[in-house]
Amino acid sequence: MKKILVTGNLGYIGSVLTPLLFKKGYYVLGLDCVFFKDFITNKKKKINKQIIKDIRDVTERDLNNVDCIVHLAALSNDPLGEFDQKVTFDINYLATLKLAKLAKKKSVKKFIFISTQSIYGISETIKELKETDLKNPITAYAKSKWMAEKKLKNIFNKNFHGIVLRPATVFGPSPRFRSDIVLNNFVGWAYNEGVINIMSDGSPFRPLLYVNDLCKIITEIIEKDLKKISGQAFNIGISKANYTVLDLAKKVKKFGKNIKIIVNNLAEKDQRTYKVSFIKMKKHFSTKMKKTFIDRGIKELFLFYKKNNINKTKFLGPYTVRLKMLKKLRKLNKIDKNLKFIN
């Protein structure tokens, strides 16, 4: 039985991935500092062992007998990254390199780093960006991920295989749900208020990725021989699903009654816009993803909001908005200025 370490296993993606790996018979070890424990929809144990620890404090002992690491732990999205840029670099960059070096020293065989398509930043071309195209990260979050990507390539070798995944903007239900990502947010507004507020002119492009599909791809990679693709990066997303923000709002509108869309044309223009190519992903991985999964995901999100009674208070508050939770923890003096828990 392979032993898989999932960092950030109690987060939005990790809490979907961990049960999937557990069901497949892996020994699943989780490592998470549990910033976001107030909202959870599934309390069943679907893990072999849980380590409660900040990723910056990981030790060699935590990696004993680990075969593969899926590194999700991060301050993950642009607003969260801007909350404290120094801490963002400490967690997303320095802690990632420390983990990879320890893993190499402990003879871990595989390292899967979850990066982001935000590294493409502002794209001045209408073509779909391939993995080797120009990177233009404009936020602390994106810059920290891009820096980590570049350094990791020097750590991977023939005995320590690693790849980088750059997921599109993830959406869909999760036991550790978050409403501060675009499609989840739009459904939340539609469900609670019957109005979708777009805080821009709606023109930026955002590729999408169903959270379950990302987890299936990760599972496929765990089982795959990485010799031929070690050190490479892969865009992960749905082919031909590069939508504008306004396009996404219109898709949500179709699944509700009398939903209005409000576009804030006076807002500062969102410079983050990019179309992404997934040709390389389709060449190397067999997990199927279709545009219709977006419609399915929107339906599931409406049902998820209803089933879990995610009212406006939960939708707009620290229960599901990561930045608000960190601010709350700081205000209550539960975490210090470096975002570490105070004993």
Nearest to 71 by CA among 144, 21, 4: 4
pLDDT at 343 over 80: no
Token output for 254:
């179709």
pLDDT given at position 272: 65
Highest mean pLDDT: which of 48-52, 126-130, 284-288? 48-52
Token output for 283:
């060449």
- For 295-308, what is the mean pLDDT? 93
- For 176-180, what is the mean pLDDT? 94
pLDDT given at position 13: 97
Query: 209 falls in which pLDDT band (50, 70, 90)?
Result: very high
Residue with tokens 């949500």: 252
pLDDT given at position 299: 93
Query: 206 falls in which pLDDT band (50, 70, 90)?
Result: confident
pTM, to two decimals: 0.94
Give CA–CA dist 258/253, Å, rounded.
8
Query: 260 falls in which pLDDT band (50, 70, 90)?
Result: very high
- Count of CB atoms situated within 10 Å of the CB of 269: 10
Nearest to 260 by CA among 186, 170, 159, 340: 186
Question: What percent of the chain is modeled with pLDDT above 70?
Answer: 94
Nearest to 305 by CA among 12, 41, 11, 45: 41
Taking only the tens place, the pLDDT of each residue in 117-137 is 999 987 665 688 999 998 989
Q: What is the mean pLDDT of the chain?
A: 91
pLDDT given at position 269: 59
Taking only the tens place, the pLDDT of each residue in 302-338 is 999 999 999 999 999 998 999 999 999 999 999 999 9
Lowest mean pLDDT among 71-80, 140-149, 159-168, 189-198: 71-80
Token output for 172:
């869909």
Structural domain boundaries of the chain? 3-177+207-239+274-289+323-331
- φ and ψ of 303, to 5 deg: -65, -35
* 8 A C-beta contact, residue 298 and residue 251: yes
- For 52-61, what is the mean pLDDT? 97
pLDDT given at position 127: 82
Taking only the tens place, the pLDDT of each residue in 140-152 is 999 999 999 999 9
pLDDT at 270 over 70: no
Tell me: domain 3-177+207-239+274-289+323-331, CATH 3.40.50.720, correct? yes
Q: For residue 229, which amino acid is it?
A: I
pLDDT given at position 236: 96
pLDDT at 153 over 70: yes
Query: 87 falls in which pLDDT band (50, 70, 90)?
Result: very high
Query: 266 falls in which pLDDT band (50, 70, 90)?
Result: low
pLDDT given at position 58: 98
